[in-house]
Structure 1
Amino acid sequence: MGYEVTTFKVTWGLPPKARLRLKSNGNADIQKVNAIVASLIATCKINSVEPYAWMKATLKAIATGHPQSRIDKLLPWSFGRTS
């Protein structure tokens, strides 16, 4: 991956048991995926979006052919807003 995932604030925002699960697995790829998902969930919460509803709608939109040129409409801060 060509980007750095900074997770300090996101990780410490999780409940202690969730933090333990993130650190207990030694697989670096799994940890990166966990960090990305935790970051997406935190971004949803910051933008007052319910994470499960956003993820479900976003994955459904991608699966049904949402155009790449309008990917910005799928981001958490755009979810549920019409323009």
Structure 2
Amino acid sequence: MGRARKSGAPKPKVSRALRETIREKGLTAYSAAKKSGVSVDAVQRFLNEERGLSLATVDKLADSLGLTLCPDDSGAEEAN
């Protein structure tokens, strides 16, 4: 079984951004899945916030949407 998220906990930023991008592009779960090679069920459940995705699946979806995922550098120190 997967871990349950506490109701007040914020959603992970990558998941939220990916979900929003799919919707902004007007894609359905079916079209996003076919474009990325991910199962329709996995994408549908992800869009409905019923489950998360593995990093490999996130990579496939991001690639198919033309997105580049990068680490958050907001906490990194500036190089002098």
TM-score, normalisation: structure 2: 0.31
TM-score, normalisation: structure 1: 0.30
Instruction: Choose between structure 1 and 2: higher helix proportion.
Output: 1
Q: Which has the higher contact order (CA 8 A, sep 6+)?
A: 1
